[in-house]
Each structure stands twice: as structure tokens, then as C-alpha cells.
Amino acid sequence: MSASLQIVEKAKTFLIEIGDLSFFAGRFFKELLKAPFEFKELLRQCYQLGYRSLVLVGVTGFILGLVLTLQTRPTLIEFGAVSWMPNMVGISIVRELGPMITALICAGRIASGIGAELGSMRVTEQIDAMEVSGTNPFKYLVVTRILATTLMLPLLVIVGDAIALYGSALVENFKGQVSFQLYFNRAFDALGYSDLIPATVKSFFFGFVIGLVGCYKGYYSKKGTAGVGVAANTAVVFTSMLLFIIDFVAVFVSDIFYDL
Amino acid sequence: MPLEEPIQNLKEDHTEKEVMINIEGLHKSFGSNHVLNGFNMKLHRGENLVIMGKSGSGKSVMIKCLVGLIQPDSGRVEVMGRKITSLNQQSLDELRADIGFLFQGSALYDSMTVRENLEFPLRRHKNKLGVITDTTPLVLEALENVGLPHTIDLMPEELSGGMKRRVAIARTLILKPKIILYDEPTSGLDPITAKEIIELMRNIQRKYGTSSLIITHDVDCARVISERMILLVDGINYAEGTYAELSASADPKVQAFFKK
């Protein structure tokens, strides 16, 4: 097969995948509004997917703040603009880096985890067993997980942002003798609703996509145990790609509304 | 294909009893792969019916059509007089409460303890048993039936293959079903454990008087447990009769099942 044909074939597969994913999302919204509501399972998933990601998100956020400050400091000193460090770090973390890095980390941890878990349940007939037990497996497994990631990701982003800012403040405090209070005052002065609202809204979308793709890949996993690995792997790849697309759309829309 | 010799004599005559499962002209294809080509079957009250067939012959597809996990392309599937394909979700779930399904790989829920695995169908089929405040006596009774009351708080990963199969049988028993469907109950087990499982199945049948449909390719299992057998070849019931009758058949396709 020639290279151009291969590209066309891959594009076709991608579009079919997007179409199937849209149907899957449609089914999610349909099932979301139907009783019974699996509150207990939702809470369990919030704990599993949200609380259990806290350490990873926290450590990553802290290192992100440290590295960003250490890397940009020499350049800002060169231009005599080191006093703008909190503003620059605050805006870049809250607007872009915090949500995106947290979402990518969660794509790696949560989307692959959901993909593998549901894939394994599919190939070992646990999903069928659930259905025979009088449970709607889509509602019990998929709706709860997508809802949990949608609700938890914005919270994880807030925690990640806060810890990243703390990491940055620590470097400034250590290297530039800037007090924590001054650092945070400067950082928050630079932030407005036009930074917080788009970032929070896109975090919900990020969470939704992470849950949606993870569940979609796992729920329709095929080809035995090998399919479980494929589900976990493709869940991460597909989610990461969609995260960047959503990010681009979010920045584009924010620009229209807030004239960034 | 025609039988070399018609075999109809049953070891114990159940034909006067109520028909629990009636399948007529069942067809199911997956793309160009025609799995079932007009399969017919009747299971009577209290009967142990074994269906044997090679791997990929459509045994599992047929059994999944019985509980609505797979929709047949055409044909009549009736369970206790109710046509599966015309039931709404609620009626189907109510009917499923009277059918126990032992899956090939046990299909215990990995994320739940043995207790939670057994409680799951209890909580989902509240209409059958009413509101149960304390599920422990029922869970323990089901586990005692399979000789594993001490595993109540263990996770499935802590159990051996044979123990998993026993717990899965306990899960199918907990709702006191009228029919039990066994999908390859002895596959993947060593001969001693397989014998224990077969003995357990016989005890259950004696104690609860359930009608059992057993899908297997294990000749020893079929010999011990069957009152009547159907050989599934090329998607149709190729031969039917008792173990003694079929094993004595000169038909090469029938003989192929009994060659050691």
C-alpha cells in the first residue's frame, strides 16, 4: 500500500473512531438522566480516580513550578524583569500549564487504568455477568467513571496549580529573597476571571474526555487479553490527542470572548 | 446433515414435564460467519441437558441468546414460556433473576470481595427476594453450599481456579434460580478439581431441583452429569440422545467427540 493510501486509510479510521466515540458520548448523556442513579459507585470512583491521583498531580505540579521558575529566571534577570516572575508563572500555570499537564498526567494514569480495567472486565465476561445480574453495566461502569473524571479533574487542576505556585514561590524565596506573601500577592494580582473561567471550563472538558475515551476503549475491548493492553495504550494516545485539540479550541474560544 | 441412526431414548423421561427453555430455528451470524443455522432445543423441568460441540461451534453464543446477552438473527427463544426477544428491559431483568449463569472463566468481579460478589445480584434483584437488611445469612448459606464459607472476606485474586469456580456457583445459587446455565464449568481445571465441580453441580441439582443446561466439551463431565445430550455441529443439533446412545453411535462426526 502506498504512503498516501495509508494516510487516507488512517484518516478514515480516525474519523470512524470519532463517530463511534460520539455515539458513545450520546449514550452517556441518555443513560445519565435515567434512574437508578449509582451514587455509591460514583463516590467510589471519585475516590479511586480523584483522591488517588492527588499525590501524582501534587508532585508533578511542584516540580513544574520549580523547573519553570528556575528555567525562566536567568532570562528575566537579563531583561531586568525578575520582579514579574510571579505574574508570569501565575498566568502560565493557571491558564495553560496546570490544566494541560494535569490532564496529560491523568490521561496516563486514569484513561489507561479505566481502559485496562473495563477491557479486562469485558474479556473475562464480568460485564456480561453484571448484565445477567440485572444491572445496566453501561450505567454502573461507564456513567459513574465519566462523571467522576469530569468532576474530579477541575479539583485536581486547582490542587496542581496551587502546588506549582508554591514550588515557584519556594525558588523565589530561596534565590530572590521574595517572601511567600509578596509572591502570592503578585501572582494573584495578575490573575483575572478571564484566566480562571476558561481554565476551569476546559478542565471539565478534559475530565470528560479522559473518562469517555478510557471507558470507550475498555468497554469495546476485543481480541482477548492482548486487547486489554491495546485498550489501555490507545486510550492514552487517543485521549492525549483529543486533549490538545480541545485545548486549541478552548484557547480559540477564550480569545473570542476575552480578547486574550 | 442426517443422523446415521436416530437417537431419542432418554435415560429418564422428562418430556411430560414443563418446558423451561424452548429454542426453535435459532440463527446467528457474525458477518459471513454463520454460527447457528437453525438450532432447536427443549429443556424440561429438573433435567440435566448437556450440549457438546467443538470450540467455536456456537455453544456460548447459543447460551448467551438465552439470557438476552446476544440478539439472535432469527428463531424463537422462550424461557419459562416468555419470548426473550420481545421482553422489555425490566421484564428481561425479572426473568434473569430465575436464571443462574456460570460463566466460563467464573467472571467474579475483581474489585469486590467474595461477600460483595454474592451480594451484588441480591441488591440488584430486590423484587425477587424483597428488601434484605442483613445479607450475611444468605451469603453464608450460598458459600456453605459450595464448601467455602471461610472465603467470605477474601478477594477473588486470593482464590485458586477451583475456588473461584465454586464461588461463582455460589453467586448463581444465591437467587435460588429455577434454571442454571453452565458455560464450560470444568474448563481450565485439573481433573480432580473438575470432578469436585461436577459433584457439586449434581448436589445442587438434587438439593434445589433446578433444570440445568451444561455447555461443555469435556466428555467425562458429560458422561457423569448428563441425562440427555445434544451434539452441536455446523450450527445445528446434529445428534441427540443419552450419553450411552451417542457414545455407541457409528457416525464419524459423533464418534469424534468421544475419542480419547
Digit-coded pLDDT (tens) for A11-60: 898 889 889 999 999 999 999 988 888 899 999 999 999 999 999 999 99
B125 touches chain A (CB under 8 A): yes
> Is residue A10 assigned to a domain?
no
> Is residue A119 assigned to a domain?
yes
| B107 to A131: CB separation less than 8 angstroms, yes or no | no
How close, in Å, is residue B35 to chain A by CA atoms? Answer: 18
> Is residue A1 assigned to a domain?
no
As given in the structure block, the three cell numbers for residue A129 are 455477568
B85 touches chain A (CB under 8 A): no
> Is residue B36 assigned to a domain?
yes
How many domains are there within chain B? 1
Which of A163-177, A178-192, B126-140 is the least confident region?
B126-140
A131 touches chain B (CB under 8 A): yes
List the domain range (segments joined by +) for residue B48.
Answer: 14-58+72-88+179-187+210-260
Q: Angle of helix A144-176 relative to helix A193-219, nearest 10 degrees?
A: 130
A181 touches chain B (CB under 8 A): no
B120 touches chain A (CB under 8 A): yes
Q: Residue B124: is its pLDDT beyond 70?
A: yes
How many domains are there within chain A? 1
Q: Residue B139: is its pLDDT beyond 80?
A: yes
> Is residue A166 assigned to a domain?
yes
**Residue pair A99/B89 in contact by the 8 Å Cβ criterion:** no
Phi then psi for B203, rounded to 5 degrees? -60, -40
Query: How many A×B Cβ pairs under 8 Å?
Result: 45
Of the residues A125, A130, A141, the best mutation for testing chain B's interface (the one with the most B CB atoms within 10 Å of its CB) is: A125
A133 touches chain B (CB under 8 A): yes
Closest C-alpha among B130, B43, B37 to residue B81: B43
Residue A44: closest CA among chain B residues belongs to which residue? B111
B129 confidence band (pLDDT: 50, 70, 90): low
| Cα dist from A54 to A62, A159, A230, whole Å | 12, 8, 26
Please, what is the average pLDDT of chain A? 92
Rounded CA-CA distance A233/A226 in Å is 11
| Cα dist from A100 to A30, A57, A165, A193, B91, whole Å | 29, 11, 15, 18, 46
A225 touches chain B (CB under 8 A): no
Residue B89: closest CA among chain A residues belongs to which residue? A134
Chain A residues with CB under 8 Å of B31 CB are: none
| Cα dist from A29 to A15, A22, A147, A198, whole Å | 21, 11, 10, 23
| Cell 445469612, residue located | B137
Which ranges in chain B belong to alpha helices (H)?
A: 59-66, 89-96, 114-124, 126-129, 136-145, 161-173, 191-208, 219-225, 243-247, 252-258
> Is residue B221 assigned to a domain?
yes
Q: Could you tell me the CATH number of the domain that includes residue B224?
A: 3.40.50.300
A121 touches chain B (CB under 8 A): yes
Q: Which whole number is the average pLDDT over A99-120?
A: 94
> Is residue A17 assigned to a domain?
no
Residues facing B19 on adjacent strands: B44
Chain B residues with CB under 8 Å of A117 CB are: 111
Q: What is the ipTM of this complex?
A: 0.85
As given in the structure block, the three cell numbers for residue A61 are 505540579
Q: What is the pLDDT of residue B4?
A: 34
Q: Residue B170: is its pLDDT beyond 50?
A: yes
Rounded CA-CA distance B193/A72 in Å is 66
A130 touches chain B (CB under 8 A): yes
> Is residue A165 assigned to a domain?
yes
Residues facing A68 on adjacent strands: none
A160 confidence band (pLDDT: 50, 70, 90): very high
List the domain range (segments joined by +) for residue A142.
Answer: 40-258
> Is residue B246 assigned to a domain?
yes
DSSP B10-57: -SS--TTSPEEEEEEEEEEEETTEEEEEEEEEEEETT-EEEEEE-TTS
> Is residue A13 assigned to a domain?
no
> Is residue A6 assigned to a domain?
no
DSSP A123-182: HTTHHHHHHHTT--HIIIIIIHHHHHHHHHHHHHHHHHHHHHHHHHHHHHHHHH---HHH
| B107 to A128: CB separation less than 8 angstroms, yes or no | yes
| B96 to A134: CB separation less than 8 angstroms, yes or no | yes
> Is residue B113 assigned to a domain?
no
B65 touches chain A (CB under 8 A): no
Chain A residues with CB under 8 Å of B124 CB are: 133-135
**Residue pair A127/A121 in contact by the 8 Å Cβ criterion:** yes
How close, in Å, is residue A131 to chain B by CA atoms? Answer: 8
pTM of the model: 0.86
Q: Which residue pairs from A222-227 have beta carbons closer than 8 angstroms and sit at least 24 positions apart in sequence?
A: A224/A123, A225/A120, A225/A123, A227/A119, A227/A122, A227/A123
Q: Which of B97, B107, B111 sits opposite A129 (nearest CB)?
A: B107
Rounded CA-CA distance B41/B10 in Å is 14
